[in-house]
Structure 1
Amino acid sequence: MTMANYTLRDEIRDYWSARAATFDQQVGHEIFSEAERQAWRELFLRHLGPGENRRALDLASGTGVISHLLDELGFQVTGLDWSEPMLARARAKAEARGARIRFVMGDAERTLEKPESYDVIVTRHLVWTLVNPKAAFKEWHSLLKPGGKVLIVDGDFVSDTLVKRMIRAFERLTGRTSPTSHAPDAMRETHERILRQVYFSKGARASEVMDLLRQAGFAGINVDRNLKRIHREQARHMPLLKGLERATQHRYAIVATKR
């Protein structure tokens, strides 16, 4: 393969594939307490209601953390990811639990799933990495049945804040990087190079995401910024400054309906 044929999407896929082995070691990816797990359940119930065997699509499902939460709530779950190493770990978890979750390889922007085949779509920390969110949102709209809902959990992880500046100052003074930083350096450089090229390179603000959802045909769009319980439980497993950074970032859940 020549570099001319190696696209940004290829680089994003390969980046997350390389991170699959350690993905579940990081707070915000895996869930490390029952209290955080319950906070996620409450968020899903608040916006999606109980599963009742409805069909749910977990986009960019990674190692299947959200897929398993949806399964526990009674949804009939498909997890879609385009990283085979991520899917291998997700399938192993499902087998260990005896969970009947369907995991498939696919691009979240072009899923190849059947139109109007899902009651709900859930994404966690996907939108900020999208190359073409306008096309992706239209695709997701087409996958939902009339009355179906999409729930997007995401945030602006790019914009500079006082807490980020404090962390950088601490790292300069101590010569240490945070344990939650991307490592090794080559991986950090890849992450930064990808971030410069994605649509939300300046940060995925809730207002812009909502505008793009409207353009894609969604209605009843609401933003929920009450994620404090999730962030509080995550912070218990993070260094002090990183926990403070998480609590002060522009993070949100957006729910929208296909009419």
Structure 2
Amino acid sequence: MDLRNHDLKEDIREYWSKRSKTFDLAFGHRIAPGPELDAWAAAVRDAVGPAPQKVLELACGTGEVTNVLLSLGHEVTALDFSEAMLDVARAKHAGNAQVRFILADAERTMEPDQSYDAIICRHLVWTLTEPEQALADWFRVLKPGGRLLVFDGDWAKLTPLGKLASLAVRGLERFIGHDPHYDGAMSERHADIMKRLPFGDGLTIEKLVPLVEEAGFEAIRLPSRRPIAVAQRREADLRNRLRTLFYRRFILVASRPR
């Protein structure tokens, strides 16, 4: 491990641990039952198939994607390197024998070779300190034919439409006030961490696909994320509907060769 990354990793752990108690209150983190949960479940089914699988969930946070996976009948090992996040996730899924929560580093999982049918992560890849190392590890723990499913986005810059939406949100907040939970995600601490990351200037498909290919994955697909965004907007207020337009988000699916 590059020791230069040690302090950065600790800063990341501390940041997410401090956000654990209120994380589900920030728009875009909680996956609401109903249309939004259904949209996430459909994206997972499309990526890994309808049959129950042995799934490794990376950076599970408070266990929201875990809930999606469990709703589909998968056997889940959910890891995070924030004990505070895991405490929330364990409480949320207490008594469910289909999930095992472990404290571990998503970049070096320490899980056995070829032991999972699928690996799934949401909003993790942009935080990686050693993306090549992480992808090599994920390739290692997948069974031949296993699938990698990534939900992520470019959080460093607004899209052209996002810039207009951001201006609209600022104007709206003059009347309804600021959302402290959302602002927490864009704090100075968050910005300081981001600028020190390999993807600090933005994670894009154009950057990620070559790294995934170099790690040995094949059959790379980029399914549309639009159904998830549409489902989020159905229940959201105006401010949060506008927020779904801010950033370029994507889904990536890839396979370990058989």
**TM-score, length of structure 1 as denominator length:** 0.88
Residue in structure 2 matched with residue 55 of structure 1 by the alignment: 54
User: Within 2, Cα distance between the matches of 1:204 and 1:168?
Assistant: 23
User: Within 2, Cα distance between the matches of 1:61 and 1:236?
Assistant: 25
Residue in structure 2 matched with residue 204 of structure 1 by the alignment: 203
| 1:25 is the counterpart of 2:25 | yes
CA distance change for structure 1 residues 199 and 13 in 2, over 3 Å: closer, same or farther? Answer: same
Query: Offset of 1:6 from its aligned partner?
Result: 6.1
Residue in structure 2 matched with residue 183 of structure 1 by the alignment: 184
User: Within 1, Cα distance between the matches of 2:235 and 2:191?
Assistant: 25
Deviations 1:191-249 (A, max 9, x none): 0000101111111111211110001111111111x222211222345453542342363
Residue in structure 2 matched with residue 144 of structure 1 by the alignment: 142
User: Within 1, Cα distance between the matches of 2:159 and 2:251?
Assistant: 20
Query: Offset of 1:179 from its aligned partner?
Result: 5.0
CA distance change for structure 1 residues 231 and 217 in 2, over 3 Å: closer, same or farther? Answer: same
Q: Is the 8 A contact 2:165 2:245 kept in 1?
A: no
Deviations 1:39-95 (A, max 9, x none): 11111111111243x210000001111112112212110000001011111111111
User: Within 1, Cα distance between the matches of 2:127 and 2:235?
Assistant: 25
Q: Considering only aligned residues, what root-mean-square deviation do their CA atoms show, in Å?
A: 2.3
Residue in structure 1 matched with residue 65 of structure 2 by the alignment: 66
User: Within 2, Cα distance between the matches of 1:49 and 1:6?
Assistant: 37
Q: Which amino acid aligns with 1:25?
A: L
> What SS is found at the alignment partner of 2:252?
strand
Residue in structure 2 matched with residue 252 of structure 1 by the alignment: 250
**TM-score, length of structure 2 as denominator length:** 0.89
Q: Which moved more, 1:230-239 or 1:130-139?
A: 230-239
Q: Is the 8 A contact 2:107 2:137 kept in 1?
A: yes
CA distance change for structure 1 residues 65 and 169 in 2, over 3 Å: closer, same or farther? Answer: closer
> What SS is found at the alignment partner of 1:46?
helix
Of the three residues 224, 227, 235, the one matched with 2:225 is: 227
Deviations 1:148-180 (A, max 9, x none): 010001111212334335525763893954555
Q: Mind listing any 5+ residue stretches in structure 1 that lack a counterpart?
A: none
User: Within 1, Cα distance between the matches of 2:240 and 2:253?
Assistant: 27
> What SS is found at the alignment partner of 1:116?
coil
> What SS is found at the alignment partner of 2:68?
helix
> What SS is found at the alignment partner of 1:145?
strand
Q: Which moved more, 1:69-78 or 1:104-113?
A: 69-78
Q: Which amino acid aligns with 2:105?
A: D
1:73-84 → structure 2 map (5 Å cutoff): 73-84=72-83
Q: Which amino acid aligns with 2:69?
A: L
User: Within 2, Cα distance between the matches of 1:189 and 1:210?
Assistant: 30
Over the matched positions of the two proteins, sequence identity in percent amounts to 38
Q: Which moved more, 1:232-241 or 1:194-203?
A: 232-241
Residue in structure 2 matched with residue 120 of structure 1 by the alignment: 118
